[in-house]
Amino acid sequence: MNLKLLSLGIFSVVSVSPLLMPSFTPKAAAGCVAVDVGVQVAVDGSRTGSQSNNVSQRFDPNCSGGSATSVGRQVCVSTKCEQRRTSDQYVGGNGGYNTGGRNINIKVGRPIHVYNRAADPNFPFNKK
Give me the residue spans of the domains in the chain. 28-126
Q: Which residues contact 120 (CB under 8 A, 6 or more apart)?
A: 45, 46, 47, 79, 126
Would you say residue 117 has pLDDT above 60? yes
Of 117, 124, 99, nearest to 43 by C-alpha is 117
* Phi–psi pair at 106, nearest 5 degrees: -125, 125
* Model confidence, pTM: 0.68
Mean pLDDT computed over 107-125:
87
Would you say residue 88 has pLDDT above 80? yes
Least-confidence region, from 7-16, 40-49, 56-65, 77-86: 7-16
Question: pLDDT tens for residues 21-64?
Answer: 666 666 666 789 999 999 999 999 988 889 999 999 999 888 88
Dihedral of the alpha carbons of 123, 81, 34, 66, in degrees to the nearest 10: -150
pLDDT of residue 21: 60
